[in-house]
Amino acid sequence: MPALSLKRRAAAVGEGLHALYPDADCELRFSNPLELLVATILSAQATDQRVNEVTRSLFRKYRTAADYAGAEPRVLEQEIRSTGFYRNKTKNLIGMGRGLVERYGGEVPRELDELVTLPGAARKTANVVLGTAFGIPSGFVVDTHVKRVAFRLGLTEETDPIAIEQDLMRLFPREEWIFLGHALIRHGRRVCHARSPRCGDCGLGKACARRGVDR
């Protein structure tokens, strides 16, 4: 697809997402950067609704990085068990707490290169925290929804999340990265489902390439 045509498609998608989801934001509940970091780590292979149910009580008990660093593994495992992969997530949360205490004075850093050194905080997690908690557009959040929707819309031909992120960062202005990441996720959850996408109800139909979707 010629670059100009792709740019026009991207512009139409951006305009459509603003119209469809003007209030798109992260659906994880948090009150500070540490809570968002914890919730995002827990959200791997778990729904935001499930994570929000777990963190309701978790955040009352664990209030600081030091609290996670000193957590009893067997206890924490049971507290987060329903989010799945709880043993690995427990190791990550404790390691994350220790990393914050030992290297960053217990505070969540505002630099991508620093955030990704923490257990459980890969690039996607770091982008979520920086964008949503600090308002820093460090990159484009690419989860399973964004990966699927961006491909179907014709915004990328890549399958690797990092490559997809690079494509989206080139197509959209930096000031749009945070909003559009949330909006694409919301569109994937509400309309562009993995199975049986609701193409007839899609407000982005005119801009969509419908890749991999029965026409």
3-state helix, strand, coil in the chain (%, to 5): 65, 0, 35
Query: Which pLDDT score is estimated for 3?
Result: 43
Distance CA 184, CA 62 (A): 31
Domains belonging to the chain, first-starting first, are 3-24+140-207 (1.10.1670.10), 33-134 (1.10.340.30)
Distance CA 96, CA 108 (A): 10
Tokens found for residue 35: 């809570």
pLDDT tens across 166-177, in order?
999 999 999 999
Other Cβ atoms less than 10 A from the Cβ of 150: the count is: 27
Q: pLDDT averaged over the chain? A: 96
* Contact yes or no for 207/213 (Cβ under 8 A): no
Residue 4 pLDDT exceeds 80: no
Query: Which pLDDT score is estimated for 212?
Result: 87
Query: Which pLDDT score is estimated for 213?
Result: 85
Distance CA 57, CA 72 (A): 16
Q: Percentage of residues in the chain with pLDDT exceeding 90?
A: 96
Average confidence (pLDDT) over 121-149: 97
| Choice among 11-20, 149-158, 205-214 with the minimum mean pLDDT | 205-214
* Contact yes or no for 76/55 (Cβ under 8 A): no
DSSP 100-112: HHHHHTTSPPS-H
With bands split at pLDDT 50, 70 and 90, how would you rate the model's confidence at 5?
A: confident
pLDDT tens across 90-112, in order?
999 999 999 999 999 999 999 99
Query: Which pLDDT score is estimated for 215?
Result: 58
Tokens found for residue 7: 């740019």
HSE at residue 165, side-chain half, CA atoms within 13 A, is: 16
Q: Could you confirm whether 89 is annotated as catalytic? A: no
Of 25, 48, 61, 143, catalytic: 143
Between 135 and 214, residue with greater pLDDT: 135
Q: Could you confirm whether 124 is annotated as catalytic? A: yes
Of 89, 124, 147, 167, catalytic: 124
Distance CA 178, CA 193 (A): 21
